[in-house]
């Protein structure tokens, strides 16, 4: 009988852990939780400003590489 009790306890612990994991993964996947997360953050403003500069530099480099190959 003690084997059944130990098994039941282990199954109950596993069920509890699976429930925690499922609840956590559902909460993490909700993109709405991140809205406004960085509002007013100076670092994020700098990151947002640098993004277009980096993309433009990449575009110019790609165009220069294409032009160099055509000459």
pTM of the complete model: 0.47
Domain boundaries, the chain: 1-35, 36-71
Residue 35: phi and psi, rounded to 5, are -60, 130
What is the mean predicted confidence (pLDDT) over 39-44? 93
pLDDT digits (tens, 9 = 90+) for 16-35: 999 888 877 656 567 777 88
DSSP state of 39: T
Tokens matching residue 17: 């852990």
């Amino acid at each position: 009988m003690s084997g059944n009790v130990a098994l039941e306890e282990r199954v109950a612990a596993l069920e509890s852990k699976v429930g925690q994991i499922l609840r956590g993964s559902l909460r993490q996947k909700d993109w709405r939780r991140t809205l406004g997360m960085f509002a007013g953050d100076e670092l994020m403003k700098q990151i947002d400003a640098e993004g277009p500069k980096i993309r433009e530099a990449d575009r110019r480099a790609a165009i220069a590489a294409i032009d160099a190959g055509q000459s």
